Structure 1
Amino acid sequence: MRPQYFKHRAVFDFNRDTNDIGFPLPWKKGNEDNHFLFRLYRKNKEQYELFYQHQLSFFLSCYNDATEQEFFIHLKQIITDTISELVNRNRYTSKHAQERKNRMQLQEFLDYLNSIDQWFIQSTDQETIKRQLEEIAKLNSENKKLKEENKKLRELETKDYIDIREGKQRTLYHLMLQIRELKLDDSKELANATTLNIWSKMIAKYFRVGGKEISVESVKRYFPPDNDADLAKYKDIPQKDKLFTIIPAKKRSL
């Protein structure tokens, strides 16, 4: 147990928005937790992170062996103990409305602490159930999204294929290579692939030769990725397989 976890307010510091704890006049230092709660009750949800980080930075600067995990455990214990105490208070008192408000705020701050809990500090049964329900809801949402994506993919999938005459696959490659290089009047490509490997993958996926699958590696040998590639690794289409030449159509007058 450390002698001090939270940064104390300086004497005569009357700043109402301070993140330090305590009073601007001398006060008893043995009840830090109560002063932390007093300051917390005057914060809103948007200020929790700054308040937490302010006090954490102070704690880490005080002790050479201090860790955020130690600070986190100490702070969470204060919050959970106080919530438990408020839950068990007599409901039929003049303080009940304020105590209920404090309990709700403590639960809100506890939710913040759980959101940054990277050590999976032991939670109460209520917290555990809540976290599990949130995780289930998140997984259900992700599962629904994956199902929708899978459905779209299945709509495009097919077991059908285009069969090429046996021995004429390189003729198809030659046509694809020509399509790859075609340019429009504005000098832009007719078909601009996001990656040049897609041509090889498309042929291997949707074409067969005599009913037999085509290896993507065998296709890639005819499709160099760019003009700077080591062409020694690639093959030219044999002249005997260049059966068709794609030429631009003559422009027709309107």
Structure 2
Amino acid sequence: MNHSYFKPRKRFSFQPHPYDLGTFIGLWHSHDDNHFLLKIYRIEEKEFADYYNYHLNYALENNLVNKEEFFRHVWQIVQIRIKHFEIQNPFSNNHGIHKESLKRLQQFEKYLKSIDIWDARPSYLVIEEKENIIQKQKEIIEELQTRLDELKVFEVSQKIRIEEGYVPTFIDLLKQIEKLELPSGRKLILSDHKIVYPRLIGKYFSDGGDDLSVETLRNYYVGKNGDVTSKGTEIKAEHKLFRIVPVSPNEK
């Protein structure tokens, strides 16, 4: 007896599961492929996985087939029907139905491709797909390499050395520079993001030759909650050794 891999609708059942195949008199096994495909035309694309797994579980529970064989069976059914619609007369009265059915099958075909862990599809399709993936990866690698080469321009072999223990003094000077105004009233330097300064210091400066942690430096650049300064690291009075003042016009 030729068993179908798909779960049939029980005879004279008027409240079947929506994924069961067949009519109220059951499923003709010789037409199970038609019934399986008819459901694909009617369900939403987001249901493809549930629909496929519903019938896969039926086949596995009844020891009809294993996962790979089930996949190959469904793949073949879909491919045969896609080819059928592709050769139909585009000027026939049923062209609109054929076109929509072909679109749905191609969507389902895309889903099948995404679950083919066995490379069970024809080898030329698998090879073509893998070549496309490799080509895309090469393009990504080339793009990343270009970006890396551009960033290398900003790399330094030796960081600027701040005298050991005087990083707070240096930060105090930077904070003073942040507050400087030009004769026009505009700021000399301006950044909307506090993290810029810790990253700048950490990348290009050292504490007596030792690297500086960006996370530690961020404690000097905390924001405000309203008018209240958030908790952070204050620069102590003994580290405020310099004062930057504007030059008087008379001194120029």
TM interval, short-chain normalised: 0.5 to 0.7
Aligned equivalent of 1:172, options 170, 173, 192: 170
SS at 2:87 equivalent:
helix
- CA distance 1:4–1:200, change in 2 (3 Å): closer
SS at 2:29 equivalent:
coil
% identical equivalent positions: 13
**Equivalent in the alignment of 1:201:** 199
SS at 2:124 equivalent:
helix
The separation in 1 between residues aligned to 2:55 and 2:161, in whole angstroms, is: 72
Deviation of 1:176 (Å): 1.6
Q: How does 1:134-173 map to 2 (within 5 A)?
A: 134-159=132-157, 161-162=159-160, 169-173=167-171
**Equivalent in the alignment of 1:121:** 118
**Equivalent in the alignment of 1:228:** 230
Deviation of 1:175 (Å): 1.0
| 1:33 maps to 2:19 | no
Deviation of 1:169 (Å): 4.7
The separation in 2 between residues aligned to 1:221 and 1:127, in whole angstroms, is: 53
TM-score (structure 1 length as normaliser):
0.54
**Equivalent in the alignment of 1:215:** 211
SS at 2:153 equivalent:
helix
**Equivalent in the alignment of 2:51:** 55
- CA distance 1:98–1:193, change in 2 (3 Å): closer
- CA distance 1:125–1:241, change in 2 (3 Å): same
Assess if the C-alpha contact under 8 Å between 1:175 and 1:246 holds in 2.
no
Q: How does 1:44-83 map to 2 (within 5 A)?
A: 49=45, 52-53=48-49, 55-56=51-52, 59=55, 74-80=70-76
SS at 1:156 equivalent:
coil
Assess if the C-alpha contact under 8 Å between 1:76 and 1:113 holds in 2.
no
2:114 aligned partner, one-letter code: I
**Equivalent in the alignment of 1:94:** none
Aligned equivalent of 2:87, options 101, 112, 120: 101
Deviation of 1:10 (Å): 10
Assess if the C-alpha contact under 8 Å between 2:7 and 2:55 holds in 1.
yes
The separation in 2 between residues aligned to 1:168 and 1:28, in whole angstroms, is: 85
1:180-233 deviation digits (Å, cap 9, x = unpaired) = 56799799x9333253xx433322322356xx524314973972634332x5xx
Deviation of 1:136 (Å): 0.8
Paired residues in the alignment total 215
Larger mean Cα displacement after TM superposition, 151-160 or 137-146: 151-160
The separation in 2 between residues aligned to 1:60 and 1:127, in whole angstroms, is: 23
- CA distance 1:243–1:51, change in 2 (3 Å): closer
SS at 2:118 equivalent:
coil
1:213 aligned partner, one-letter code: G
TM-score (structure 2 length as normaliser):
0.55
Gaps spanning 5+ residues in structure 1: where?
A: 12-17, 87-96
- CA distance 1:238–1:82, change in 2 (3 Å): closer
The separation in 2 between residues aligned to 1:53 and 1:240, in whole angstroms, is: 65
The separation in 1 between residues aligned to 2:68 and 2:106, in whole angstroms, is: 16
Gaps spanning 5+ residues in structure 2: where?
A: 13-17, 89-101, 224-228
The separation in 1 between residues aligned to 2:58 and 2:84, in whole angstroms, is: 35
The separation in 2 between residues aligned to 1:225 and 1:2, in whole angstroms, is: 71
Deviation of 1:145 (Å): 2.3
1:138-182 deviation digits (Å, cap 9, x = unpaired) = 211221221232133123334465455677654322112334567
